[in-house]
Structure 1
């Protein structure tokens, strides 16, 4: 595996990178569409969960256009509210898992003096809630979300983060094309995560390195740092 230059910081996507989203979303997805039908905001069958999982990384408004294109603006707005409500409820019940090795790998990066951040296109309370509930929040210097800052793209969100925290060199780590784009357009090294199982073909093209388990991240550090 090719090693990358030692970064000052590492910026992580959340879903499909740190967090096994499908372990939470299978239940949340079902509950959202049951409620929409009960409230007569949506009358179609529940879309396949794979359609939602395959849309992760997009902004929420774009997710619902893809998952339920026949849904009204009111259904999409209500789905936003329900998604967050049910995600937080299920997280508080213990549902959802980090990928194997995430806490240990993050702690190892911190011990080497590397600053850690999260940048996600999700809603603010969800993006901050997952690390908090899963016990890794204290490892991150900052957690940025499109939901909090109203950014129109991951590129803009990452640029805002690096500017705010004065980050000069970093790795962008994520599983979607939006993460690759955000890293490349901000002049960062890009590490693609190929273990989530719901990415599209060619999605990680342009990455400087690709890992197939989270702990492989440590193998990318320069040898003298190991």
Structure 2
């Protein structure tokens, strides 16, 4: 598949691709550690923000292994619950921002007949909550907001494969900002668009992407002429 082939579908990561994660995540992150301390589950200062930001794109169990490796699994699971709770509460207050041009670009892609999906390593409530709170849900395929939390997949490769199989998709682009997105796309034979604007990635993570963009709106320009 080449960049000039019209895809049947596009599959989007959420954090760092569609959504400016830090605008919702960081207040919830600090609230989570305040609560863990009040419950006697954590002692000490809140780990630096770069620990959680640098772990975005991982499964949650791996994120907490990076952020608080000294804590046991029960604390990690409690942190999962609290982080989701505080993010959902933040969404209800209208917190969190899309990257510039995301809504308009998704509308244009949908108008061109491209089926839209998400594939995120996040929890189901978070992924669906973000898309709904931002008013984007009508643009996506019915049932197409895939997350590792809902489908219990062990990798994004497996999550994307499950999505492709369930919807009978034969050609698609994978769009994301982390190496897990590149891996998931190529392992499933997809064209990969690397989003190089969030700033969470490590050096070299997007080197194997088929194309890299610095603005979400550039995706439309990659499509072949109608």
Q: Which residue of 1 aligns with 2:212?
A: 210
Partner SS for 2:217: helix
- Counterparts of residues 19-98 of structure 1 (less than 5 Å): 19-98=19-98
**1: CA distance, partners of 2:31 / 2:13:** 25
Q: Which moved more, 1:92-101 or 1:44-53?
A: 44-53
Partner SS for 2:146: strand
Deviation for aligned residue 1:50: 1.2
Q: 1:64 to 1:108 in 2, by over 3 A?
A: same
Q: Which residue of 2 aligns with 1:140?
A: 140
Could you say what the CA RMSD is over the residues aligned between the two structures, in angstroms? 1.0
- Counterparts of residues 117-196 of structure 1 (less than 5 Å): 117-141=117-141, 142-196=144-198
Partner SS for 1:218: helix
Partner SS for 1:76: helix
**1: CA distance, partners of 2:3 / 2:61:** 37
Partner SS for 1:206: coil
**2: CA distance, partners of 1:220 / 1:211:** 10
2:127/2:145 contact within 8 Å kept: yes
Instruction: Spell out, residue by residue over 1:120-170, the C-alpha distance to the aligned partner (whole angstroms, 9 max, x if none).
Output: 000001111111011001100011000001000000000000000011000
Deviation for aligned residue 1:96: 0.4
Q: How many aligned positions are there? A: 223
**2: CA distance, partners of 1:72 / 1:206:** 35
1:41/1:74 contact within 8 Å kept: no
Partner SS for 1:151: coil
Partner SS for 1:214: coil
Deviation for aligned residue 1:44: 2.5
2:11/2:174 contact within 8 Å kept: yes
Unpaired segments ≥5 residues, structure 2: none
Large movers: runs of 4+ above 2 Å = none
Partner SS for 1:100: coil
Partner SS for 2:192: strand
**2: CA distance, partners of 1:100 / 1:174:** 16
2:3/2:191 contact within 8 Å kept: no
Instruction: Spell out, residue by residue over 1:42-97, the C-alpha distance to the aligned partner (whole angstroms, 9 max, x if none).
Output: 11210111110111110000000001111121210100100110010001101100
**2: CA distance, partners of 1:153 / 1:3:** 25
Partner SS for 2:212: strand
**2: CA distance, partners of 1:36 / 1:143:** 30
